[in-house]
Amino acid sequence: MSLHGVMVERLHWAWKWDSYSDAAWKTARESGAVTYMDSGWISTYSWVYSQQEYVNSMALAIVNEETRASAALQVVKDPVKLSPAEIETLLLKSAEIDLSFATLQTMMKALDDMYAQALKRS
């Protein structure tokens, strides 16, 4: 895209989330293997996997919000065509998403700490 003879990159958003897997825990619960586990381990795994599920859902919510944030740009196809109000909305939504990412990072750090505590227990 060219803006008064200067090449300008198209604005775009891209983010990929490879969520944490809970397949082993679900399999253990669904197959009945949990009944043979130590109750302390059941508690630890439940605690860790519930936090992991929360982090996954939070990340997916941010991705969905990020997708909606670029709707006005998607319609006009060219950032130069955005109105001042649309630009302000886009900037505010971007700031909100940045804050959500900061919160997600804090939650992921807490999850890492939970993993470390669970490993110490083993």
Number of domains in the chain: 1
**What gap in Å lies between CA 5 and CA 103, rounded to an integer?**
41
Between the CA of residue 49 and those of 29, 54, 73, 87, what are the distances in Å?
A: 12, 9, 38, 40
Q: Which domain holds residue 43?
A: 20-121
Query: Is 13 inside a domain boundary?
Result: no
Query: Is 106 inside a domain boundary?
Result: yes
Q: Categorize the per-residue pLDDT at 11 as very low, low, confident or very high, splitting at 50, 70 and 90.
A: low
Query: Is 65 inside a domain boundary?
Result: yes
Is residue 76's pLDDT more than 60? yes
Query: pTM here?
Result: 0.68
Query: Is 43 inside a domain boundary?
Result: yes
Neighbours of 90 (CB within 10 A): 18
